[in-house]
Amino acid sequence: MGHPGSPALSSVSGRSLSDAPDSPDSIDGDNGKGDPSFLKTLEARIAALEGSGDRIFQLDARTSTIGEPAGGRDEPLGSSIIIPKVRWCNLAQFKNRFNIHSGRHVLDVLEYSPSWTQEAQVEVKLRDSLAKQQVKNTHRVPRHALGPQPTSTSQNGTARDDPPAEDEPSETKGPSSRVISRIRIQSPAVLAVLSKRMQVAWSDGLPRTLCRPFAPLVHYHDDVRTALRELEARWAHTADRDGTRTPMSTTSRVGTPEPYHGVSKLSVDDSPAAMAELRCYVHFVDTEILPLYEQFDNMDHSSPLANQKIRFQDLWYLFRTGELVYRFTGTEGSDPSKDNPHRLSDGQRTWRVYGTKEAWPKYRLTPTDRRQMVRDEDDEDKAAFRILCYYIDFDGEEFCCIKDKFEIKPYEGERPITSLKVCPFRFIPDYEKVKGMYSEISRGFLGWIDTKHATYDSWTVTHDPRGAKTTDMDGSEVKRAEHINSEVIVDFVEAFQACPSWKLQRSMPKVAEPRSISVPDDMPICSWSDPQRTKLLGETTEIVLAMTGVATFERNRAIREEDRFLRAIRERSHGKIGRSDLADEDLLLLPLRVFAYALQDRKFVQLDSSKLVSVKESFRAFECLKIEPSHKSIIQSLVHAHFYKKAKERAEGPGSVKMTQDLIPGKGKGLFSKQNPPTTGVSPFGTIWQ
């Protein structure tokens, strides 16, 4: 984790990044414990500062008490030199600038450290100690009062006593060698492109900080590339190869060609400096961020188990719109090997992602007792990551969308992907066979909608597709399954009429207005005169993009364009969604459960469609009936007369009243009387013979 040229915690910690563990367990967690000797050294330095009454520090007159946001004293980017390089930082370097005359880098990148909690506490204590020394006179604290100073190693391997420049960029490494937690964008050109595409006004000229997973950097990367290509076509021939932006270079146009209108549409500064900044930014995103975003793309159950783990902050990388996900029936975090994909009566297993909802990031590093207010990250509901999904059901007339959401609450470290509430289908063992099995069951579901008549010899369904307990005909929760051994008639419409609590709660995903929320961090960025913090030159408020709106953009695009089934619903608002609107993959989203009437039990029930069996047709059943031949003739005549009369009534239209010669008065228009239930032992035929 250490980098040549990237200074150690020269004014705070006294040790370099190389001392941090190589395998952090989380991004924003506090599970790591710092080195006891390291913390003792820091505490000794603070004690030396607090006890040195004759050693007085000078604070710039523009600042107030350290640790409070310094409103009105923020230094805009336009007044700084912008260096087209990336600066890799530890916590002290990220929250302090010790060489402001060298300028700002395009990006400041904060690497994760498991000792963040301790380092943040030390940083706050150190700032408080320095603030107490504020008086009018200026004296420099002797070097020995600051405690042990870090010893840096030059690039040729020799040690040097003088601390390296704090703003010097570190050596570039591969994307897998470090864990990026936050990125501060300080390039006016990059901020111009992002603010234009995000439809936000960043007119204050201040940097913006993003927390992992850095969704805007991925979502709008093609726009930044486009702006870079336009600038390269314009300025690639210039001799200014380093592209360092000075305060004058942001507006100077002396000796340059006419403005290029393609660039102006994105409000990008038309200059070689802007081109250099965008080049630096694009290279960083290509080599560091996009590999993070694509790390799960080619993974499935056959991938090494060590790679099938994920941090909470990376969930956005895993769940993409349009992805089929598998819902586990056990509790979150339970052993996935105990989940049986063949057990389908516990609810719908296959869902499709149409969007996600961002989790409010835990961006504040200050100790809890030093935070100025309670924010949304302290709300567990807002801090959870939400996966928005739907399955396809049938309401008796057409297919419809039933949506639901799955919440994953923040957790520390890494977890196996299959331990989440839901996971992409491809991580399920033998997922191809499981998908094939679900497809066959779904085709059977479609068949029973048409066939209707079947036999059933199994248990009723006790959970609805969402996994909640079902209700009976009276609306009471079903406590246990009931065994049905009877012929049944599949009929959704009649079931909903008899059992209103069974009616489907149709819900169509709706587009929303993307919203970006920026919040100030409690710990500002301090600019010092030297690494020993002799003089505080100013403070800059850390503005963090807590909510970026990218997830809303993706959800809207899926609903309007990408999802074929949802698009069909939107475009056919006055028509019905039929079987022709279902693609092969949509079949996996159909439910297992059907609504049917059990003839033997004379009630509506919810059944497992995979247990339905076709009724064998027998055209000789009447011939096998053991009654007098004359009685058979009477039955045949009654049946023939009944259907003849029904056909005539349909032909003459409703409202026609005809005299009948029914032998059984008060029986009604049916063929047989229903006055005697089967349980009395009297057949409906008995009334006729009587």
In this structure, the strands spanning 593-598 and 603-608 are antiparallel
The one-letter amino acid code at 612 reads L
- Is residue 120 packed enough to be buried (19+ CB in 10 Å), middle (13-18) or exposed (0-12)? buried
pLDDT at 352: 96
Question: Strand, coil or helix: what is 330?
Answer: coil
Compute the distance between CA of residue 645 and CA of residue 664 in angstroms, rounded to an integer.
16
Rg of the chain's alpha carbons, rounded to an integer? 36
* DSSP E strand boundaries for 98-247: 104-111, 152-153, 159-160, 180-185, 208-211
Note the pLDDT of residue 239: 45
Q: Output the CA–CA distances (angstroms, integers) from residue 618 to 549, 622, 672, in the order listed.
A: 63, 9, 22
The SS3 assignment for 205 reads coil
Query: 3-class SS at 560?
Result: helix
pLDDT of residue 257: 38
pLDDT along the chain (690 residues), means of 10: 35 34 36 46 52 36 32 59 92 88 90 82 84 55 40 32 41 59 93 88 87 95 92 75 46 35 52 91 96 94 88 95 89 58 78 94 72 57 90 93 94 91 92 90 91 92 89 87 94 93 90 89 88 86 91 94 91 82 92 93 92 81 80 86 81 64 59 48 40
Give, for 194, the enclosing helix (H) or strand (E).
Answer: helix 188-198
CB neighbours (10 Å) of residue 663?
9
Task: Report the b/e string of 36-50 with b at 16+ CB within 10 A.
Answer: eebbebbeebbebbe
Domain residue ranges of the chain, discontinuous segments joined by + = 17-294+518-547, 305-507+550-611, 629-689
For tokens 């952090």, name the residue.
24
